[in-house]
Amino acid sequence: MDLHLYLDPLFLGFGADVCVVDATFGGESGASECSALRFLPLAMSPCPSTEDVTRSFSAASAAIRDLQREGISTVRFVTFGYITGSGSPHLYLLDEGVLVIPTVFCALISALETAMTKTFSGMPLAVLRDHLLDFSSLAASPLERTRWSRFVRHATGSHLVPSVDEKWVGEWVRQALWARQSVLATALDAKADQDMAKLKSRGKAIDKGVLVKQQLGRLERDAVAEFMRVVDSFKTAEPKPIDQLLNTLTGRPLADARLPSVDDPETAREKEEAVLDRLAEERRQANDLTETVKRLRDFERSIKNALAINDTANLLATVYQLDMHLTMHVDYTHWAKLLKETTDLWRTICFKVKPSPDKQVKAECAKFLSNMTEGFLCAQKRPKVFFDLKVHTSSRSKRIVIDLFPDVNPKAAENFRCFCTGEKGNGTSGYPLRYRGSAIPYAVKGCDLIGGYLPDGDSLTSMTESTYGANHSKWDHNRSLIAARRAGMVLLMDEAASQKRGIQNYREHGGRFMITVASANSAQHCETAVGFIPDLKDVSFLQAVSLMTDFRQPQPAPTQFTLGDLAYGPQIELQPLIVPVIIQDCGQLPDQDD
């Protein structure tokens, strides 16, 4: 048996991170998997803390003891999927005598860091650390779930350690470099300029494209060689006690760096209370407009001072900064309240700045007022709809509230609202135009949920017909007004595009929709935003659901990049959920007056 240790957020009601120990059993019929053999709630954090890591090893030890009590004593190894940042990956030994080896993903990241540091040694350290060596975008890719395919005996003969083929390693290195191709291309271009300047000073010349290609090939070879070196070192390296890893992470003496207890209900209760307290504090801070009002009054004073001395450049910059501040930091639901609190600011802009004889100031002021007017209208007339979702791991349904965008994409938002209420009955194809009873069967793990499918026997039928008809082509698509690369956005998915001479493509939509659960999502420019989920706890719940994909599905073989990949980034593979999420009920909520 092989145990695999993951630090992944799964569904636990509060969206908390958990450590999962799953197992692969070998037998005559081949390998079979037992998912979530034991799991341990951890803190809600984007990156597991040191305490979380130590508690995860405690979960692995407890799982091994559980198996031993059941008479299963042959646990060959435990894989550890956490990058410690302490140099090359090492082998460690649990107190139960089971070897802990790093995952393929850890070894790959270590090899890439070493190779890139060598290749771009002349670049500033900050650029290397913040851009080239930031591999967080690979965490949700198939690379993270890759498992060691071959094993050999350790030099001492008592443990199994990984053994890989160089061709297999080269394939994964190429995939990792492709996933970082935009940042890598910029770095290679800058490196080529440096090298060409050196060659030119020596009286030599070489084509820049050839030089970039040579550097990329050298980087790939160095990464493969470093990966092979790390794996080869596993065959002879003596495993270190697990306490040494904990000592490195915690900085405490070995005597104090021990595994804590797993089954500590008091600790679990304290962590749950801490999460709830933090959410309550975040909500309180979001609704507290005191600092925002102070900042707006500072803008008001700056505008009046610029008007008093007729400083056009400063006035233009201040209006632009005010527009950006409200766009980035103030939620639309508070704009109407801010209008009452800072009336003098808006009067100054409308009656003194807008009539300015300077064309740039007048244009920027008109743009700012247009944006603010849109925000005020949104806060006043934005309807709310809801989904009651039934997840197979829970006996109760979970209500998700969605605020729609009828002022930005009116036809698309009305189409989505009608699907929620079911008021349009059946479509021309005979299928109902409503989400009640439909399924959310697919996900891009940790990024998106894909819904709008009707159960049809043992299969699913996609809802491609809109409430405006089967081939409604003139669909509003103001993609520049709402950014889709945010968590909690609801978008209608693109079904087709109608090409018209001299006019931008119109988008055709039906009932299929996407809910983004992370800012690093797969939404494209052709999807139309129809609403967003304001409650972050609801978004956290949906992100946990998106992680419950059936990772036992075979992964597609790596392919070369296409032009679409180069334009929009690598396309993350859509995976089915273990069990589809069902929309038990949906509808429109009544308007609430403040």
**pLDDT tens across 189-235, in order?**
777 777 777 766 666 666 767 777 777 888 888 888 888 888 888 88
Give the separation between CA 268 and CA 256, rounded to whole angstroms.
21
Q: Phi, psi at residue 71, to the nearest 5°? A: 90, 5
Asked if residue 331 belongs to a domain, the reply is yes
Give the separation between CA 81 and CA 103, rounded to whole angstroms.
5
Same domain, 431 and 539: yes
Asked if residue 522 belongs to a domain, the reply is yes
Q: How far is CA 336 from the centre of its chain?
A: 32
Question: Which residues of 374-432 form beta strands (DSSP E)?
Answer: 384-390, 397-404
Q: Phi, psi at residue 327, to the nearest 5°? A: -65, -40
**Residues with Cβ < 8 Å from 279, sequence gap 6 or more?**
536, 537
Give the range with max mean pLDDT: 254-258, 305-309, 395-399.
305-309
Closest CA to 442 of 453, 432, 434: 453
pLDDT score for 195: 73
Question: Which residues of 297-417 form beta strands (DSSP E)?
Answer: 384-390, 397-404
Asked if residue 276 belongs to a domain, the reply is no
Whole-number Cα distances in Å, 28 to 25, 146, 149, 150, 326 = 10, 23, 17, 18, 64
Q: Checking DSSP bridges between strand 17-25 and strand 77-80, what pairing results, if any? A: unpaired
Q: How confident is the model at residue 445 (pLDDT cuts 50, 70, 90)?
A: confident
Give the separation between CA 257 and CA 260, rounded to whole angstroms.
9
Q: How confident is the model at residue 279 (pLDDT cuts 50, 70, 90)?
A: very low
pLDDT score for 30: 42
pLDDT in tens, 29-59: 444 444 444 444 444 334 445 555 666 676 6
Q: How confident is the model at residue 262 (pLDDT cuts 50, 70, 90)?
A: very low
Asked if residue 431 belongs to a domain, the reply is yes
Helix, strand or coil for residue 47?
coil
Same domain, 68 and 181: yes
Contact 542, 451 (CB under 8 A): no
Q: How confident is the model at residue 436 (pLDDT cuts 50, 70, 90)?
A: very high
Give the separation between CA 103 and CA 77, rounded to whole angstroms.
11
Of 40-49, 384-393, 512-521, the one with minimum mean pLDDT is 40-49
pLDDT score for 387: 94
Whole-number Cα distances in Å, 568 to 49, 135, 143, 280 = 33, 18, 20, 37
Same domain, 142 and 116: yes
pLDDT score for 264: 46
Contact 424, 433 (CB under 8 A): yes
If you search the block for the tokens 């509060």, which residue do you land on?
A: 14
Asked if residue 93 belongs to a domain, the reply is yes
Same domain, 371 and 388: no
* CATH value at residue 557: 2.40.100.10
Both tokens assigned to 196: 């060409």
Both tokens assigned to 124: 């500033």
Q: How confident is the model at residue 564 (pLDDT cuts 50, 70, 90)?
A: very low
Q: What is the DSSP string of 135-187?
A: -GGGTTSGGGG-----EEE-TTSSSEEE---HHHHHHHHHHHHHHTHHHHHHH
Long-range contacts of 313-321 (CB under 8 A, 24+ apart): 315/353, 315/356, 315/361, 316/358, 316/360, 316/361, 316/364, 319/349, 319/353, 319/361, 319/364, 319/365, 319/368, 320/364
Domain boundary among 358, 381, 404: 381
Q: Phi, psi at residue 246, to the nearest 5°? A: -65, -35
Same domain, 185 and 220: yes
Buried b (16+ CB within 10 A) or exposed e, 223-245: bbebbbebbeebeebebeebbeb
Contact 21, 4 (CB under 8 A): yes
Look at the alpha carbons of 281, 286, 291, 295 in this order and tell me if their dihedral is positive or negative.
positive
pLDDT score for 52: 57
Give the separation between CA 496 and CA 183, rounded to whole angstroms.
31
Same domain, 148 and 209: yes
Look at the alpha carbons of 42, 47, 50, 56 in this order and tell me if their dihedral is positive or negative.
positive
Whole-number Cα distances in Å, 123 to 199, 207, 223 = 18, 22, 18
Asked if residue 278 belongs to a domain, the reply is no
Look at the alpha carbons of 295, 297, 300, 301 in this order and tell me if their dihedral is positive or negative.
negative
Q: How confident is the model at residue 85 (pLDDT cuts 50, 70, 90)?
A: low
pLDDT score for 18: 46
Closest CA to 368 of 318, 423, 301, 334: 318
Asked if residue 281 belongs to a domain, the reply is no
Asked if residue 283 belongs to a domain, the reply is no
- DSSP one-letter code for 128: I
Domain boundary among 381, 410, 426: 381
Give the separation between CA 518 and CA 489, rounded to whole angstroms.
9
Same domain, 438 and 567: yes
Give the separation between CA 87 and CA 226, rounded to whole angstroms.
12
Domain boundary among 241, 271, 301: 271
Better-scored residue on pLDDT, 471 or 429: 429
Question: Would you say how long the chain is, in residues?
Answer: 594
Q: What is the DSSP string of 447-508?
A: TEEEE-EEEETTEEEE---BTTBTT-------TTTS--SSTTEEEEEEEEEEEETTEEEEEE
Asked whether residue 130 carries a pLDDT value surpassing 70, the answer given is: no
Q: State pTM to two decimals.
A: 0.41
Same domain, 340 and 242: no
Same domain, 326 and 392: no
Buried b (16+ CB within 10 A) or exposed e, 160-175: bbbebeeeebbebbbb
Which amino acid is it at 294?
A: K
What is the total count of domains within the chain?
3
Same domain, 506 and 570: yes
Helix, strand or coil for residue 522?
coil
Residue range(s) defining the domain that contains residue 419: 384-588
pLDDT in tens, 452-465: 998 877 678 888 78
Same domain, 143 and 230: yes
Same domain, 403 and 301: no
